[in-house]
Amino acid sequence: SNFDIKGKMIKSSESRFHQRSVVSSFIFSDGDEPKVALFRRSAKVKTYQHQLAPISGSIEHHETPEEAAWRELKEETTLTPRDVALWRQGKPYSFSDPSIHRIWNIFPFLFRLKPCHEGGRGEEGVRIDWEHDSWQWYNPELLNDNELFGGVPRLKESLQRVWFEMHLSYGASKVLRAGLEQLKADHQSGSHELTSIALKVFQDVISQIQGPIGTDWWESARMVAWHLWKNGRESMGAATLNALLGLLAKMEDTVHQDLSREIKWKYLLGVLGDHMNKRKQMPTRIEQSFGAYLQSNFMSTMKSNSTRPLTILTLSGSSTIRDSIIGAFASLPIPQLDLRVLESRPLCEGVKMASSMLSTFKARFPSSSGRNVNLKIYTDASAALASKGVDFVLLGADQISDSGSISNKIGSLPAVLSAKHVCSGVKVLILSELEKVAELGVENGHVHEENNPSELIGCWMDCGIEGIGALVEDIGATDQGTATYAVKVKNVYFEWVPPELIDAYICEEGTLDVAAIQNKAQQVKQNSEKYFGEL
């Protein structure tokens, strides 16, 4: 190819260089003093013998970069998900090394070594293979790209791309790390709420970035935005991406104006405040769009039966869906709401939403209102029974792909398939902010978010399920390479629902179809390339 990883034309002097895409995986320990592991390459490897490096290796044609990173870790250190957790991914970049006539396309990753009390093997789990002579811990602040340090080319840059706070002032670094950890650990909030948190973190970090608000400041601000998108909760990150891209577009002109730092920051604070206020209006506008949809597509069926209830099936804990249901019910002359909610394990967000829905209904509709709600909570496995006679299945979306597929809470696809099978006239509606539309290709490169199996195991143990102790004892046994059996507990949070099962997308701009979703995804791609492509 005559183009590098960013799509830039390769210089004629480099046109004969061999391109190679590799992962560069750092292992760190986050004790009292964070430290990073570096491995001294042996004389048996083809390049950079005896130099310090992270765990590296080529990305095979059938692999994603993340899959390659995990494979190389296991091959070169024996470490597996039992021992390490993927903590960060870095912005990929390219550089050429004329000494070996090669262009490297680098995909950096950062893995956290799990201590023994988290079920890992700690340092004892690091067992190097023939590609390395030794390994040891280093202070990340002391890494250097000069020859005296003895590292592979661009060692420090690769680390900074996953540990970006190293590049920032102490205050900005502290805020960014705390913000990323908050986003990563939050398994309760929906993507709209997580995006609001990410925007607040972004504001707090850039307020701490020192120096004039110019080119360097702007590059740092864009990289902070990239990390909040990719390293907070990427599986729910489409909304964060769109919100940050929209904010960057509004900030850009001010950054490049010939004004003092104080005046620029005053303007930027105004832009941030305005952007956040407009996002607060989205749920109300979606509520209005849903009411308009029901007016056009449900009220016409009420003419022959004025007492017919509105019957809805939903799941998970979307505040947008909760408010839209209550708001639409209040705005339309419907006497009864028949609401069915799946419990949404393992965290039972559906139960929490049902409780919130009931409280809101009781406060809004006194006994004299003549309005009634019939609320039923079903187990997730009862989706087919819960679907009998429903008018609409309402789903939120954590991401919407360019094909129109939606990524939502696990259990969404079985609920939709059950409803379509049991009730031929049912409509599946997606209630979501338009900012949930992801960039092109997100569905193809999507990796299912694996969460802590203890969320499931804890429920089983609390229920006193017979034999659970023996099962738990053997989970992960094959990681040690001695067992002849494998036991794993899969705790996946999200799954895709394809567009052919979806009847309409209802957002703050009204009711959309797949073509409108595709146009939005194209815009996201263009803006993403504009603000993140050159980093």
Confidence of residue 15 (pLDDT cuts 50, 70, 90): low
The pLDDT assigned to 17 comes to 82
Distance CA 146, CA 151 (A): 8
Confidence of residue 310 (pLDDT cuts 50, 70, 90): very high
Q: Is 514 helix (H, G, I), strand (E, B) or coil?
A: helix
- What is the phi/psi pair of residue 266, to 5°? -60, -45
Look-up: residue for tokens 């990796």? 447
Q: Range with the lowest mean pLDDT among 179-183, 228-232, 443-447, 490-494?
A: 443-447
Per the prediction, the chain carries an average pLDDT of: 89
> Domains in the chain, ordered, with CATH?
12-166 (3.90.79.10), 171-280 (1.20.120), 284-442+495-532 (3.40.50.10470), 454-478+485-491 (no CATH)
Report helix angle 319-331 to 191-206, nearest 10.
Answer: 120
CB atoms under 10 Å from CB of 244, counted, come to: 28
The end-to-end CA distance of the chain, in Å, is: 21
The pLDDT assigned to 4 comes to 47
86, 61, 91, 89: which is closest to 73 by C-alpha?
A: 86
Type of residue numbered 354: A
Answer for the pair 419, 426: CB distance below 8 angstroms, yes or no: yes
The pLDDT of residue 296 is above 70:
yes
Q: Range with the lowest mean pLDDT among 3-7, 84-88, 346-350?
A: 3-7
Q: What percent of the chain has pLDDT over 90?
A: 66
Tell me the mean pLDDT in the region 9-18.
63
The pLDDT assigned to 305 comes to 61
41: β partners: 132
Distance CA 504, CA 511 (A): 7
Distance CA 280, CA 272 (A): 13
Tell me the mean pLDDT in the region 80-91.
93
Distance CA 138, CA 33 (A): 10
Q: pLDDT, tens digit, for every residue of 245-274?
A: 999 999 999 999 999 999 999 999 999 999
Q: pLDDT, tens digit, for every residue of 123-138?
A: 999 999 999 999 999 9
Type of residue numbered 282: M
The pLDDT of residue 76 is above 60:
yes
The pLDDT assigned to 319 comes to 86
The pLDDT assigned to 374 comes to 94
Answer for the pair 205, 244: CB distance below 8 angstroms, yes or no: no
Sheet arrangement for strand 336-342: 372-378, 336-342, 310-314, 392-395, 427-431, 504-507, 510-512
> 271: burial class by Cβ within 10 Å (0-12, 13-18, 19+)?
middle
Q: Cα 53 to chain center, whole Å?
A: 29
Strands (E), 231-357: 310-314, 336-342
298, 358, 383, 291: which is closest to 328 by C-alpha?
A: 291
Distance CA 431, CA 316 (A): 13
Tell me the mean pLDDT in the region 158-184.
93
- Max distance between CA atoms of the chain, in angstroms, equals 85
The pLDDT assigned to 13 comes to 56
Q: Range with the lowest mean pLDDT among 67-81, 189-203, 455-469?
A: 455-469
Distance CA 297, CA 311 (A): 13
Runs of H (alpha helix) within 312-453:
319-331, 349-364, 383-386, 412-422
Distance CA 193, CA 320 (A): 11
DSSP label of 7? S
Confidence of residue 302 (pLDDT cuts 50, 70, 90): low
Q: Which residues touch 214 (CB under 8 Å, ≥6 apart)? A: 255, 256
Comparing 368 with 90, the larger pLDDT belongs to 90
Q: Are strands 35-41 and 132-138 parallel, antiparallel or unpaired?
A: antiparallel
The pLDDT of residue 307 is above 80:
no
Tell me the mean pLDDT in the region 24-47.
92
Instruction: Quote the pTM value.
Output: 0.82
- What is the phi/psi pair of residue 130, to 5°? -65, -15
The pLDDT assigned to 482 comes to 59
The pLDDT of residue 9 is above 80:
no
Q: Are strands 55-58 and 372-378 parallel, antiparallel or unpaired?
A: unpaired
- CA distances (Å), 182 to each of 188, 233, 441, in order? 11, 10, 27
The pLDDT assigned to 1 comes to 44
Tokens of 357: 């829905």
91-95, 462-466, 490-494 — most confident range? 91-95
The pLDDT of residue 3 is above 80:
no
The pLDDT assigned to 39 comes to 97
Q: pLDDT, tens digit, for every residue of 446-474?
A: 566 777 888 888 888 888 888 888 887 77
